[in-house]
Chain A
Amino acid sequence: MAELKSWRDLPAGGRVSPATAPQPRTGGWRTGLVPEVELSACVNCLLCWLYCPDSAVNLDGTTFTGFDYDYCKGCEVCAEVCPTGAITMAEERP
Chain B
Amino acid sequence: VKELLTGGEAVAHAMRQIDPDVVPVYPITPQTPIIQGFAKFVANGRAHAELIDVESEHSAMSAAIGSALAGARTITATSSQGLALMAEVVYIAASMRAPIVMAVGNRALSGPINIHCDHSDSMLIRDSGVVQLFAENAQEAYDLMVVAPRIAEHPDVLLPVLVCLDGFTITHAAEPVELIADDDVRFFVGDYDLPHPMLDVGEPSSHGPFAMPDHYFELRRQQAAALDFVQVALAGAADAFELLTSRRLHALEEYRLDDANCAIVALGSTAGTVKDTIDELREEGKQVGLLRICSFRPFPAVEVAAALAGIETVIVLDRADSPGGTPPLHAEVAATLYGSGCELRGHVYGLGGRDLHPEDIREIFASDQGAYVGVRGEECPA
Residues of A participating in the B interface, judged by any CB pair closer than 8 Å? 4-8, 10-18
Given contacts A4-B214, A7-B225, contact A14 B203 (CB under 8 A): no
A13/B206 in contact, CB under 8 A? no
A-B contact pairs, 25 of them (CB 8 A): A4-B214, A7-B221, A7-B222, A8-B225, A10-B218, A10-B219, A10-B222, A11-B205, A12-B158, A12-B226, A13-B95, A13-B96, A13-B98, A13-B158, A13-B207, A13-B208, A13-B222, A14-B95, A14-B211, A14-B215, A15-B97, A15-B205, A15-B206, A16-B205, A18-B204
Q: Cβ of A16: which chain B residues have Cβ within 8 Å of it?
A: 205-207, 209
| Complex Cα spacing A67 to B185, Å | 62
> Nearest Cβ in chain B — how far from A22, in angstroms?
11
Q: B248 contacts the other chain (Cβ, under 8 Å)? A: no
Cβ proximity bits B217-232 to A, threshold 8 Å, 1 near / 0 not = 0110110011000000
Q: B357 in the interface, Cβ–Cβ < 8 Å?
A: no
Cβ of B207 and Cβ of A15 under 8 Å apart?
yes
B214 A14 Cβ-Cβ under 8 A: no
Give A14 to B214 CA distance when docked, in angstroms: 12
Q: How far is the CA of A6 from the CA of B217 in the complex (A)?
A: 10
B residues in contact with A11, CB < 8 Å: 196, 205
Residue of A nearest to B225 (CB): A7
New A-B pairs, 16, CB < 8 Å, besides A13-B96, A18-B205: A7-B221, A8-B225, A10-B218, A11-B205, A12-B97, A12-B222, A13-B95, A13-B97, A13-B158, A13-B207, A14-B209, A15-B196, A15-B205, A15-B207, A16-B205, A16-B207
The complex places the Cα of A12 from the Cα of B222 at a distance, in Å, of 7
Query: A13 and B219: CB pair below 8 A?
Result: yes
By a CB distance below 8 angstroms, the chain A residues around B196 are 11, 15
A5 to chain B, nearest CB (A): 7
Chain B residues near A15 (CB-CB < 8 A): 97, 196, 205-207, 209
Closest to B217 in A: A7
Q: Is the interface of A mostly helix, strand, loop or mixed?
A: loop
Distance of A12 from chain B, by nearest CB (Å): 5
Chain A residue contacts of B218, Cβ below 8 A: 4-7, 10
Closest CB in chain A relative to B299 CB, distance in Å:
21
What interface size band does chain B fall in? 20 to 34
Q: Which residues of A contact B97 (CB under 8 A)?
A: 12-13, 15
8 A Cβ contacts from B253-268 to A: none
A14 touches B208 (CB 8 A): yes
Contacts of B211 in A (CB 8 A): 14
Cβ–Cβ contact A17 & B219, under 8 A: no
By a CB distance below 8 angstroms, the chain A residues around B204 are 18
In the complex, which residues of chain B have a beta carbon less than 8 angstroms from the beta carbon of A6? 218
Query: For the complex, what is the distance from the CA of A7 to the CA of B219, rounded to whole Å?
Result: 6
B215 touches A17 (CB 8 A): no
Shortest CB-to-CB span from B213 to chain A, Å, is: 11
Q: What are the 3 tightest A-B residue pairs by CB atom distance, in nearest-first order?
A: A13-B97, A7-B218, A7-B221
Q: A11-B196, A12-B97 are in contact. Are A17 and B222 (CB under 8 A)?
A: no
* Docked CA distance A4–B221 (Å): 15
Contacts of A18 in B (CB 8 A): 204-205
Q: Min CB distance, A6 to chain B, in Å? A: 7
Residues of B with C-beta under 8 A to A17: 203, 205
Closest to B210 in A: A14
Kindly list chain B residues whose C-beta atoms are within 8 Å of the C-beta of A10: 215, 218-219, 222
With a cutoff of 8 Å between Cβ atoms, the chain B residues found around residue A8 in the complex are: 222, 225
Cβ–Cβ < 8 Å partners of B203 in chain A: 17
List chain A residues, Cβ under 8 A from B208.
13-14
Chain A residue with the shortest CB-CB distance to B226: A12
Name the distance in Å between A73's Cβ and chain B's nearest Cβ: 19
Cα-based distance from A17 to B97 in the complex (angstroms): 16
